Structure 1
Amino acid sequence: MERGIEPEVRMVGITYTEITLLNAGDVSNARRGIIKAAEIRKTTVRALVDTGAATLVINEAMRQKLGLGIESVGDVTLADGETEECQFTEPVKVCWKNRSTSCEAMVMVHGDEVLLGAIPMEAMDLTVNPARQEVTGAHGDRVLLLAK
């Protein structure tokens, strides 16, 4: 290998996708005319797709940026088997391309990236293709939800 040229590193099984997070209360208030649409607190982030995580996971800085209140506190078992007390926020609107859902977010004190978990992915009818490292619609471009 030529000196100074790094080999391409591909981390198989790790998938990221771009999502937009909005304060769901702000979205409702804008719809009602209480605030202007431009006042909705939102951010677009590169999220780690984590089907082992139940819901959306954010850190404290992201919670504050979106202006989300805390609705509850509970114990959570982490991937390494440790248990940690975490806060859960009021609803966050999660948008991926032409799809969206609202869910609570778990706040990880030591977290440094957003995790997109199984519940919001299922609600938006999304699946992950680890071989191609991409998120796609489980049923193509059309959302298909089962109601039985």
Structure 2
Amino acid sequence: MEMRRGENADGETKDYKVVGPIELKFKNRPTLCEAMVLAGDNEILLGAITMEGMDVLLHPLRLELIVNPDHPYYTQMSLK
């Protein structure tokens, strides 16, 4: 799609390819997003907008991604 500049954890900035749309699925929750292509075996980082699109949450005690328990059978977006 395009090139975007990104800053790595060590402070280095580089230009990276952006690809998409990509469909991500977690359990019964699909969403579309874009992704920056990084070399090597980097960990995936999901942004807040992507997580909101799937209506998922981070469980703080179990340290895992979960389906929003308020909406277990469907995705619900907040339009406020």
**TM (normalized to structure 2)?**
0.79
- Pair 1:121–1:97, CA change in 2 (3 A): same
Matched, 1:126 2:56: yes
Distance 2:39 2:54 in 1: 27
The sequence identity of aligned pairs, in percent, is 34
Q: AA paired with 1:78?
A: N
> Per the alignment, in what secondary structure is the counterpart of residue 75 of structure 2?
coil
Correspondence for 2:27: 97
Q: CA deviation at 1:140?
A: 4.1
Q: CA deviation at 1:132?
A: 0.4
CA-based RMSD of the aligned residues comes to 1.8
Q: CA deviation at 1:131?
A: 2.0
Correspondence for 1:75: 5
Q: CA deviation at 1:146?
A: 1.2
> Per the alignment, in what secondary structure is the counterpart of residue 87 of structure 1?
strand
> Per the alignment, in what secondary structure is the counterpart of residue 136 of structure 1?
strand
Distance 1:145 1:79 in 2: 31
Q: Which has the larger radius of gyration?
A: 1
- Any gaps of 5 or more consecutive residues in structure 1? 1-70
**TM (normalized to structure 1)?**
0.46
Distance 1:78 1:130 in 2: 25
Alignment of 1:133-148 (within 5 A): 133-138=63-68, 139-141=70-72, 142-148=74-80
Instruction: State the Cα deviation string for residues 78-122 of structure 1 (Å, max 9, x = none).
Output: 233221211100211001111100111110023x14514123212
Aligned length: 77
- Pair 1:113–1:140, CA change in 2 (3 A): farther
- Any gaps of 5 or more consecutive residues in structure 2? none
Greater RCO (Cα-Cα under 8 Å, separation 6 or more):
1
Distance 1:87 1:140 in 2: 35
Q: Which has the higher strand share?
A: 2
